[in-house]
Structure 1
């Protein structure tokens, strides 16, 4: 039920209660509202029925001291004509155009039009040139050439799901009676599909266990091969061949193992950002709402969050652009084999 539906139900309940009790004062006291609020609701109900009880959308106020629309359009036009000018230089130049305005006003106008930085103004300039055939001046062409290298690019090359997976060990904290808690995290760099499992130790066995228990069965179910794993140089990931459980498991399944440079954790940024998301959106909330007595209890709630993360939560990264990780896996144009929801079981406590 949406907040609007709940509010409508509350108003109808107030009218119904007052009619049953035949006492407006008692009904308002029980519902926790004033009698004037009751009469306002009753008047709107008598005039327009149930539709009159819906909340009306309010138009954004027009501030009396806001810059006139024609002046704003002239400022935007001048900003695109000189996209490299900053907010402090713009008022000085606009004086020669007969426009007296402060630098803070220029900044607010830019924000309203989503042109608050030089890069966005250059992108808008390119868009106008592409769509409307806008003729660019020498200054605009020079600005575009100088900033062509600043366009965000993918710093990790990933061609399809399973092409490159990142793995890391994240120390969650300490639970009384259980001890230290570690989370093994695995993220697919193509679509940010994530896996997480909790352990009480930081060993090669635990690093291999999440792959055997969660990751490999998931990808094998859809005939998606895992080509390469990227990890840091921790002892749970690096060792000597057949004497190391994690390295042995990768060799058995034919998965390449890549390591980041020492002191360069940003190279494994996908899983580092995943750790931060799980920390902020799950652990920091869960530990304030509930007292956990066992690792299994915490793992159950973590599985519920991971379902939300992969199947319900839109991601704003440059790879997904508002999509959910499962949508990328279900994309027929990028997957080796079409996936369906029928092959994926949701946790029992997920509605």
Structure 2
């Protein structure tokens, strides 16, 4: 019997184990909702490579045409930390003025891959970089940090409910 603690492959490992228990491949496949072809594929993988062969591996080949050039990615990262309050459209327009041509969705894709997709995440990265490198904040960065601090103390309560009376 094969054992695995990883959630990713538990289903794949459970199928051969169930078939071994029931002594019937077809019945195990019906119970698990898997075709017999898939079952035999799993069994072959276990015989050839053990439990590691059942890890969910992506068959999709990476498409380098969809990748942003590393130089452009670096410029987008620099700009995101320089102006953390700017959104993807404004960042695209400002970078275009500097000679870096990338679409707003390209900016978003880079931010997603780096983990800077939101204003808060860009500020967190800016603070981490400033702490690590002893960076001095620019006026735009200070304004963005103050904007975040102001947002923490806003209360979005409806005034009519604040005193306990129902709204008009």
Q: TM range, normalised to the smaller chain?
A: 0.5 to 0.7
> 1:79 offset after TM fit, Å?
1.8
Is the alpha carbon distance of 1:53 and 1:84 closer, same or farther for their aligned partners in structure 2, counting shifts above 3 Å?
closer
Which of 9, 15, 18 is 1:13 aligned to? 18
Equivalent residues of 1:94, 1:100 under 8 A apart:
yes
User: How much has 1:53 moved relative to structure 2?
Assistant: 5.9
Q: Partner of 2:55: helix, strand, or coil?
A: coil
Per the alignment, in what secondary structure is the counterpart of residue 147 of structure 1? helix
Residue in structure 2 matched with residue 152 of structure 1 by the alignment: 152
CA-CA distance at 1:148 after TM superposition: 5.5
C-alpha distance in 2, partners of 1:79/1:97?
14
- The Cα shift of 1:105 comes to 2.0
Partner of 1:39 in structure 2?
A: 40
CA distance in 2, matches of 1:114, 1:124: 9
How far 1:101 sits from its partner (Å)?
Answer: 1.3
Q: Does 1:262 align with 2:164?
A: yes
The answer (yes or no) to whether the contact 2:84–2:141 under 8 Å persists in 1 is: yes
8 Å CA contact 1:79–1:85 kept in 2: the answer is yes
- TM-score between the two structures when normalised by the length of structure 1: 0.35
Match of 2:158 in 1: none
Partner of 1:140 in structure 2?
Answer: 141
Alpha-carbon contact 1:84-1:118 (below 8 Å) kept: yes
Match of 1:130? 131
**Preserved contact between residue 90 and residue 106 of structure 1 (Cα < 8 Å):** yes
Q: Once the two structures are superposed, what CA deviation does each residue of 1:242-291 show, in whole Å capped at 9, x if it has no partner? A: xxxxxxxxxxxxxxxxxx622489xxxxxxxxxxxxxxxxxxxxxxxxxx
**Matches of 1:15 and 1:53 in 2, distance apart?**
19
CA RMSD of aligned residues (A): 3.7
Max Rg structure: 1
Structure 2 CA distance for partners of 1:45 and 1:108, relative to 1, 3 Å: closer
Query: 2: distance between equivalents of 1:78 and 1:38?
Result: 51
Counterpart Cα distance in 1 of 2:11 and 2:53: 12
- 5+ long unaligned stretches in structure 2: 156-160
Q: Offset at 1:152?
A: 2.1
Aligned partners of 1:130 and 1:86: how far apart in 2? 24
1:147/1:30 CA distance change after superposition, 3 Å: closer
Report the secondary structure of 2:88's partner residue.
Answer: coil
State the aligned residue count. 153
Quickly say closer, same or farther: Cα 1:79–1:11, change in 2 above 3 A.
Answer: same
Match of 1:336 in 2: none
